[in-house]
Structures are given as C-alpha cells and as structure tokens.
Structure 1
Amino acid sequence: MENKKENHTYLEINGDYRMRELDKSDLEQFNALLQYAFQVTSYELLQTGWEQEEIKYAKRPILEEAYVLGWFYKEKLASMIVVYSMKVNIHDNIMDMGGITGVATYPEYTGKGLIHSLMKRVVNYMHEQEFPISFLYPYSIPFYRKMGWEIVSDKLTFTVKDTQLPKARPVTGMVERVSLDSEDYHNVHSYFALQHHGALIRDNLAWDEYWRWENDDMIAAVYYNKDHKPLGYVVYYIANEIFHIKEMVYLNIEANYGLWNYISAHFSMITQVQGDNYSGEPMAYLFEDSEITETISPYIMARIIDVHDFLLEYPYQIQPEDFKIHFRVIDELAPWNAGDFMVSWHDGETICEQVEDNQSINVVELSINTLTTMLMGYKRPTYLYDHEKIQTEYYMLTWLERLIPVEKPYFSDYF
C-alpha cells in the first residue's frame, strides 16, 4: 500500500504505524534512536573528543548516501534499518554488496514485527539494486538466522605478554608513523583487499565507518621496504601499558617481520599486546613461545540476496564440462531464491538457470543460510553434510569440495 502525506511516500500503513524512507529532515530522530539503541550517550562521545554539533551530524552521510527505511508511529520514528552500497572480494571476484547497519527499535515498539517487515523490505530493495550478497554485524545471531543470514567469518582476539614478543628479525625496510588518512596506508589496504577473499573494498564511506567513534589516540604505522614501497601497516593505541592492535595487515612476510619488530620495540613501555586477528587462523603457531591466549568469536554474517546472480558470478575452482549440479535452495524470505538452480560450464563460462524442482541426479538441497556459508568458504561441504545441513548423495561431496575454493573469508570492518 502506498499513500502520500506531507510529501512523504508511505510503503506500508498499519493503523498509526507508517513505513517510509528517511531523509535529512529526520536527522535528529535518526540520531536519537541510534544513540538510544546502541547505548552511546552524548556525554561519552564528548569525553572522547566529539563536539555537540559533530555528534548531531556524524551520521548525516548515512541519510545522504545510504538507503534508510523506518517505521513511524504518529510521526515519531519507532524502528529503522540502513543499507550501504558496498563492494566485497569474493574469491578474487569483486561483487556489489549491501551492508546492513543501524537496525534499531525503541523498546516500547518491540514485539510488533517492525524489524522483520523492514528486513523483508530491504531484502527486496537489495534484489532490485542487483546486490548478489549482503553483510551485517549481528546483535542477535538467532534473529538474523531466521531471515537467512549466516556466520561467514570469525574474529580471533589474542593477548601476548611482553616476554612472549618475537625477537627482532633482520629486514631492509623500516616503519614510519603516518596520518590516518595517509595515501600509503590506504593503498596497502586496497592491495590487501584485492588479494584476500571476504575483504571489504573500502571507499570513502567505508573508511568513515571504520573510524567512526574511535578515540583520538589511534596511530597508524606503515612498513616501507628499502625502495620505500609501503607493504604493511598496524593501527593501534597504547593505554595502561597495553599495546592495543585494531588491525594489522601485511602484503609479504618481510612486512610482517618489520611490523612485529616495531611492536616489540615498545617492550619497555608495555606489559602485553592485545589485538584482533580476522584471518580465521590462530596465531599461536607463529610465535616461538606459543602459549599465548587466543579466543574466537563469530564476527560477520552474510546472506546471498540473489542465488541466480551469485551462482553465475561465483569463481568456481574448476569448471567441469559435461557436468551439472542442482542447488535446491530453501529461502522463506526471498521467493525468487526458492527452487532448483542448475549450474553447468561450457567453454570456460558458467551457466546458471532455474529449472523445474523435480530433478533426482546431482541434487544438493540446502537452506539459503547453508549455501551462503558454504560458498563463502567458512564451512566446508563435508562438515555441513556431517552436521545434516546439506541433503545430497555422498558422492556429490567430492564435487562440492573441488568446486568451492578453500580460502576462509577475511573481514575486519564494522559498520
């Protein structure tokens, strides 16, 4: 149902509730709901160096550059959701991605299905915008699983004592501290993202989100080789004798050694190093003293928005001629994804077509959640089969293991 009132177009009307897209006139209500839902007070922001006007306008770019949808109750914003237009590396293939953020509802409006209806709307929106996949940082994994999202990457948090820091290794380059908007620093991330499956391709908006609400003590240090070519960086701050790593990226082992040399050079100032590792692989093996503390937690969830387009764009490890595989997908939120998608290859090209759901050979039946986490490489086909997430003939696991690249996703961003 569509209705216009006060120059606003309502996508749905339910009693006193009205759904519409937000614009700049909604900025104050938008900020108020964000701060309430995510428990960020103006006082806390002021304590970290934000001015009152900066707080008010910090999220203005969202309303200008993103799709923001909300439910209003008697003209008061009750619930909302935000979609960013982004790009992500999927096994060396750069795909458009819808980044979900700002999912929030005032407590007095919970339990009325507002978020569920907003999620359904934005899935349709992303389908119309031809985003093959969507990412989000979950506040409730079970909630998002019900709507088709699944875990695709982990965050490994580590603690290294000062006595466990690696000994200096000889390198020909050196580390230099740079500004947070340094071109060299940004370029290293761009090269890194193009080489690593799952990484976000950061544009200006993504960089703004990367730094939003961070304190002013953050430092970026870049490793340069002997030809002054930037090959890695570490973003960090030091507080209470702890070296906190926000992110550490390197393009080769020389840069890795150089950055750890730099960190270890703070030995007299710190008692430990704490940081986050997004590679999906524990770090302990790489330390001479491997008794470091590492904890793992799920980080980013993803959802294939358009199965046909994703399967068509997906970079399979092999392209077997005279072979067809049927992905029988279950997706309750996106009806265009439900059905049998037959994938085959001819002359180096992938062919994907939706066919009658009555095939009996080479069929792999699975939910949209499982299809997403499997194709993203977070969980392997055999693991998913063993845990009854996939229904197929056992011989098909060999094909799936060969088709799907092995690399785990790297995703270090937050929005």
Structure 2
Amino acid sequence: MGDPQNGALGGSAARQEPSGGGPRGPLFGLRVLELAGEFTAYPGKLLADLGANVVVVEPPGGAAARGRAPFVESTPHPESSIGWRHYNTSKRGIVLDLATTVDSEPTGGDDGRGGDGDLGRFERLLADCDVLLEGWPAADTAALGLDPARFTQRYPSLVWTTVTPYGRAASGPDRPVTDLTLLAGAGPVLSCGYDDHGLPPVRGLGGQAVHVGGSFAVAATLTALLYRTRSGRGQHVDVSVDAALNVTCELATTQYLADGQLVSRQTGRHATASPTNQTQVRAADGQYVVLGFPPRTAARYAALVEWIDELGLREAFPDVVLLELGVERGGVSIVSLGTDPLAQPIWDASRAAMMLLAEHLPAAEFFLGCQRRAIVAGMVASPEEAIRGPHALAREFAVELPDPHTGRTELHPGAPYRFGRTPWRISRPAPRLGEHTAALLTAGWDAG
C-alpha cells in the first residue's frame, strides 16, 4: 500500500505517476481502483480529474455503461456512448474477469502474489492502491472473496468505499432500482412539482441519484484519507444513495422530524409547510425567469425605481410610490414583516415591480439587469445556453478535449471550483475497452 503519511492524502508524491503532461492536480499521487458500475463512475471521475491515478476495471465485453444511449452521431458502439466518454475522463482502463481464478493462457506480470487469474492480478494492483471504489451488492463481492473485513486486515491502509442504492448489506438483485425509484423513495420527488397537486410530482432529470451519491462518496473518501494521514489506518466507507438523497431534501425531512410538519411542493420554488408567493414569470421573449428574495435595502429599492423610470413604466405601475417609501425608510427587513404594517405592502410592491420588469424584457436582459443592480433573480436556461452564457465563458468553464483515437474535439463541462496551485484538469479522454490492460499487467501502477 502507499505510504499513508506521505503525499496527497496518503498517496506518495514520489511515485512515478502517468500524468499525461501538464501541472499536477491536488490529488496527484493517489491511486484508485474503480470497479466499473452505475454508482462508481462519477466519483471516480471526480477523483481522476483532480489528479488521482484512477484505473477503472471492466469485465470482458466492457462495462454496461458502454451500451447506454445517447451515442456520438447516434451510432451505437462501445466507444461512442456519450455517458461513458464523459464519466470516465482522466482514467485508465483495464479488462479483468474477476470470476476466473486460473488462466487457460496466462498473461505476463504474475509475481506469485494474490493467486492466478485475473482476480489475482486485481489483488496485486490493490496491494499498492490507496482507494478501492466499488458499488456491487455484498453477495456479489463475497462470491469473489472480496470482503471489506478481510481486505482491511490484509491491506490495513486501504480505504474501501462502497456506493450502493441502500448500503452494501441491503442492496442486491432482489431490490432493483432506477434513478426514478431512488429519487421517489428517498423523498426529493415529493418536494418537486407544481402548485396544482392534481398534477403528479416531478423527478429532476440528469441522473441526480448518481451525482448526489457520488458526491457524498468522494467527500467521505477524502475524509477517510485525512484520517489515514493521522492514524495510518484505512477503513471501509459504506455510502447509501438512498440516505444521501434523503439528506438533500432541504427542510422536508428536517421539518418533519423537528415538529411533525409536512411540506407541499410548489411551482418553481421551495417546498414549504405554508404556501409562498409565485416566483416564475414568463418574460417578454417567452422564456421564464425566476425571482428570488425581493430587495431589502434602500439602494436596491432605489435601483428598482430607476429601472422602472428608465423603461418608461412608471404610469403602468402606480405602486412605485411604495418603492420610493422603501427608499425613504432605509429598506425593509424580513423581521419587520410581522410587526410593521407598512413593511408587507412595500415588500409586495417590490415583487410586483420585478414581475412587471420581467414581463417587459427578454429573459436574459432581465437576468443580467438584476445582477448589475444586485437584485436576486435568475433565468431558466437550457444546458447549451448555460454553458455558453457570460458567467460560464468568463470562468472558462467548458473544456475542449481532443481525442486522438477518433480525431474529434469534444466539449466537456469543467469544474465548479478553481485551485490556485494545483489545477483541476481533464488529463486524458475516457479509455477505450482494454486500452491499458497490457501495460498495467506488465508494469503495474507505473505503466505510462
């Protein structure tokens, strides 16, 4: 195993790691074995793009994710799944049949450790690894002799992170799941939808179960690695996607546990026990904008009055006098709404003014106009609008990734954070099926 007192969260900085050129990321030196699966790809990507040396282990024929649409140019092929290509950047790939114990045609690289066959080769890679990332049911790993209790004794500094729907012991083929069933069963779906409860709840798209569970898995793994730097000991980290989703229910779970109240879903705003004011407004160009908190300071009220006058809307909005009163009074605090008889009318007028402005302006113009005036608001943007929007462009968020295997240059979403000294980056495209198998079996972790 790697020296737990050295390098990035226990990964030895002295190791000769394949970096693909360029600056080292914050997790440089960390070695991660990822058993390819539905819930391991995203946390593996997060670690790999931060500089960890991640090797994804696929079965013969490839991971199931390679067969999932959509595909590049709508052509089904193991190398053209867009999901595979996105969630496996910066990784190397190896094909191992972990169900075999003895080779019919031995491959070079055996040194007597871990037995024969691909399971033995897997254990030899594991012997000098910092993190094992897997999402298989306990029965499946036990059948292969992959048991956290045994492995944490055999490899005492290993951090073994399991990401499964309901926790390792409770997950299995008898409890099949989809993104929809996980989000529904854990609670988020009940909080998402419309004021009209005759309409069904709404599941947020984008594979949220995978992303939420993966984010918690990375946070928990890094915490375990920090513990290892002090103690020298690894541990098993068991992540339940169901539990991870439940703790993201904002006040829905907490409010029920604290005082027995149930929240109700609302159109485009937080689910609450008591209804709140409308926030979604159709702008002049037909797109929707989302209003946040109304202004609270005198400067923001003055900015609203100035904006209304600039657009010549004063006559269309008689309540501008209430906005001017808000300026004179120095703004309106939330606390004063229940005690000051004038506070609520001023507050309501400010929201009505924002709705009026939104209805007379294109969505993007309203959104940017609010930002220039430090007024909380947003616009409902498509993914392509968001990634090419002014904020994303200013941050250079989108990343161009040349793929030497296909000759394509792909555009990938970047990171939501920046490091001043150890930058995040995509170091290589997703591996082709078995691309690094021979090199890893011959040279191990030091393979280029």
Into which bin does the TM-score normalised by the smaller protein fall?
under 0.3
**Which one has the largest radius of gyration?**
2
TM-score (norm. length: structure 1): 0.21
Give the helix-richer structure, 1 or 2. Answer: 2
TM-score (norm. length: structure 2): 0.20
